Copies of this chain bind each other. A is one copy, B any other.
């Protein structure tokens, strides 16, 4: 149920990105960057497949100096396929977080190391919130909704960590005391 490369390309084409290069930018710096990823190695084969299936058309576009463009256009069949894919049951958001993995070993860290890790994680959330808040020129209602949601949730998330980091540090103290009750013991 994860969205496949072809669906992601159809979406990007529907959103107005009409070359392989443009589609890549949509996932690298553009509107999709924060919740999907797609690279050239997936995009160009996907466009070829979509072309073979009649879900997109392609006309070469000669340019002044720059390399020739292949301008892709989504067809009606393509829009149907996109709609169908987006209305199918979607798998829930999948997160890949190095910070959380690291935090699960908090009890192995020195206080300063943990503190720096939490600082970075909090900052990451506030930075992303600010970055989202700075975005302008967004035309579609869905994108406006997603940007506001992202910014508000990131701020709440960062605030949560700030408000609860002390509890984590206390819990680590308790954990260490329970496991190594003698401070001057022989076990390192």
User: CB within 8 Å of B: which residues of A?
Assistant: 1-3, 8, 11, 14-15, 31-32, 34-37, 82-83, 86-87, 89-109, 113, 117, 120, 124, 128, 140-146, 148-149, 152-153, 156-157, 160-161, 164, 167-168, 171-172, 174-175
Contact = CB atoms under 8 A, between A and B. Distances in A.
Contact of A101 (B11, B99, B144, B161): B11
B2 A96 contact: yes
Given A141-B168, A153-B156, A146 B100 contact: yes
Contacts of A82: 105
Task: Please classify the interface of chain A as helix (H, G, I), strand (E, B), loop, or mixed, using the class held by over half of its residues.
Answer: helix
A36 B124 CA distance: 18
A153 B145 contact: no
A153 B142 contact: no
A94 B101 CA distance: 13
B175 A105 contact: no
A26 to B, nearest CB: 10
A127 to B, nearest CB: 8
Given A90-B120, A97-B35, A142 B15 contact: no
B104 A142 contact: yes
Given A83-B108, A94-B37, A103 B142 contact: yes
B96 A93 contact: yes
16 contacts: A1-B98, A2-B98, A11-B105, A15-B105, A34-B95, A87-B102, A87-B113, A90-B98, A90-B99, A90-B102, A92-B124, A94-B95, A107-B140, A149-B161, A153-B156, A153-B157
A145 B167 contact: yes
